[in-house]
A = this chain, B = another copy of it.
Amino acid sequence: MAYRRTALMEARLAADRDRILVAACDVVREAGFAGAKILAVAAGAGVSTGSVYRHFPSKSALFAEMLREVCAREYAVAAAVAVTAEPPVQRLGDVVEVFAHRSLLGGRLAYAVIVEPMDPEVDQVRLDARRELSALFAGLIDEGIRAGELPVQNPYTGGAAIIGAVLEGLVRPLQDGALDPDDLVAELRAFCVRAVGGAA
């Protein structure tokens, strides 16, 4: 048999797929989901539109996958910070900090990921991501309540509110470029810790 799929070919294939996902990410960062056209993604990845469809069955599937990857990455980082040996409130602050910091770097992407509607398939991924992340915060709030560090409250509401506070808190500074990023992150951390009833 004169043909064998070589490791090199596999690698290239995977690389193409990744480049497409990265390009999708870039496009959303630049233009949001609203401006996300397959042609732009293809151009960004240096492939044809047809190739995009070799790797992903539809536009929705492509962006859903991209979202899933981005969210999984963010969640993993946040989750890692959430299980250190520190006291719950300290950890909650750390997670806020890390989440805010990374969202700051991600620019519009984080925002699009969390809030910009696109289509049902993508929206579902977004919803799941929000749920997961707010559950992470809720878990920490719950631990804090049990440890007597935090007042009794609905942890899920708090978890969701934290996500909103951080993202919205980042939007203007991102656009105005006013504040020092580190200060902003510190402010948001303090805001959120106080919000759940922790000592600043």
Q: A interface vs B, CB < 8 Å?
A: 32-34, 115-119, 127, 130-131, 134, 151, 153-154, 156-158, 160-169, 171-173, 175, 179, 183-184, 187-188, 190-192, 194-197, 200
Q: Can you name 21 A-B residue pairings with CB atoms under 8 Å?
A: A34-B118, A34-B119, A116-B116, A127-B175, A130-B172, A131-B172, A134-B172, A153-B190, A157-B169, A157-B187, A157-B188, A158-B187, A158-B191, A161-B165, A161-B166, A162-B165, A164-B164, A164-B165, A167-B168, A194-B195, A197-B200
Query: Which applies to chain A's interface (DSSP): helix, strand, loop or mixed?
Result: helix
Chain B neighbourhood of A154, CB < 8 A = 179, 183-184, 187
Asked if B187 and A153 make an inter-chain contact with CB atoms under 8 angstroms apart, the answer reads yes
Known: A187-B154, A191-B195. A160 touches B179 (CB 8 A): no
Asked whether A130 lies within 8 Å of B195 as measured between CB atoms, the reply is no
Once the chains are docked, how many angstroms separate the CA of A161 from the CA of B184? 11
Which chain B residues lie closer than 8 Å to A165 at the CB level? 161-162, 164-165, 168, 195
Which residues in B have their C-beta under 8 angstroms from that of A153?
187, 190-191
Q: Is the CB of A163 within 8 A of B168?
A: yes
Chain B nearest CB, measured from A172 CB (Å):
5
Complex: how many Å from CA A173 to CA B158?
12
Shortest CB–CB separation between residue A111 and chain B, in angstroms? 8
With A191-B196, A194-B196, A194-B197 already in contact, the answer to whether A161 and B168 are too (CB < 8 A) is: yes
Q: How far is the CA of A194 from the CA of B194 in the complex (A)?
A: 6
